[in-house]
Amino acid sequence: MKLLIVTAVDAERDAVLRGLSGTVHDVYTVGVGPAAAAAGTARLLALAEAAGTRYDGVVNAGIAGGLAGRADIGDVVVGTASISAELGVRTDDGFTPLGKLGFGSAVAECSLRLAAGVTGARGEILTLATITGSAQRVDELAESYPHALAEAMEGFGAATAAARVRLPFTEIRAISNAVGDRDASGWNWQAAFDALTKAAGELR
């Protein structure tokens, strides 16, 4: 099985590569945020098709914030779905996701088969273009998405690109901080990168 693995930044790519010694997977940095992830992943898939390279799936790998009580620093989370938590309509009455508006879906289902060998919790991973920075917003997300374990910025974008060429997709995240905690002194980048390296080594 040959996978296309995309990350937001080079540090995540390097952590993945450290775990992939001797494998056939390709790893690229595509940029930060859902738009960059969608465009970058789509470009890589188009280039691969032109070159005759066939992938069996797409993986978005990187670090993330964990929702309190659901995922702790150093944990690995394997997505059951990548959900755009901002795609929809927000009014005074609250937020209505895209799916309830009849304009498509804000949920990209993940393939558990692609990450079957990866040790970690299974659950939904939220995609946001704006990082959560307040306790109120954390509470809103936790209530709206009771099965979500983590928040990141690229999964739904990469999943959208994979879906366009009918490739299975999954998202793998290592937790560096708690969602909503903007005090970086409490973050543990090294623990997250080490966990990401280990998870990458467990990919088939």
- Concatenating the DSSP letter of every residue in 121-144 gives EEEEEEE-SS---SHHHHHHHHHH
* Two tokens, residue 137: 């917003």
Q: Domains in the chain and their CATH numbers?
A: 3-201 (3.40.50.1580)
Kindly report, residue by residue over 67-100, the tens digit of the pLDDT.
999 999 999 999 999 999 988 788 777 777 777 7
Question: Rounded to whole angstroms, what are the CA distances from 122 to 115, 172, 178, 182?
Answer: 10, 10, 17, 25
* pLDDT recorded at residue 50: 96
CB 87 within 8 A of CB 98: yes
All residues at 6 or more sequence positions from 194 whose CB lies less than 8 Å from its CB, including other chains: 15, 74, 174
* Two tokens, residue 76: 């690995």
* pLDDT recorded at residue 93: 76
* pLDDT recorded at residue 21: 82
* pLDDT recorded at residue 96: 73
* pLDDT recorded at residue 195: 98
Question: Of 196, 168, 156, 202, nearest to 62 (Cα)?
Answer: 196
Looking at residue 186, the DSSP 8-state letter turns out to be G
**Low-confidence spans in the chain with pLDDT less than 50:** none
User: Global pTM?
Assistant: 0.93
* pLDDT recorded at residue 204: 75
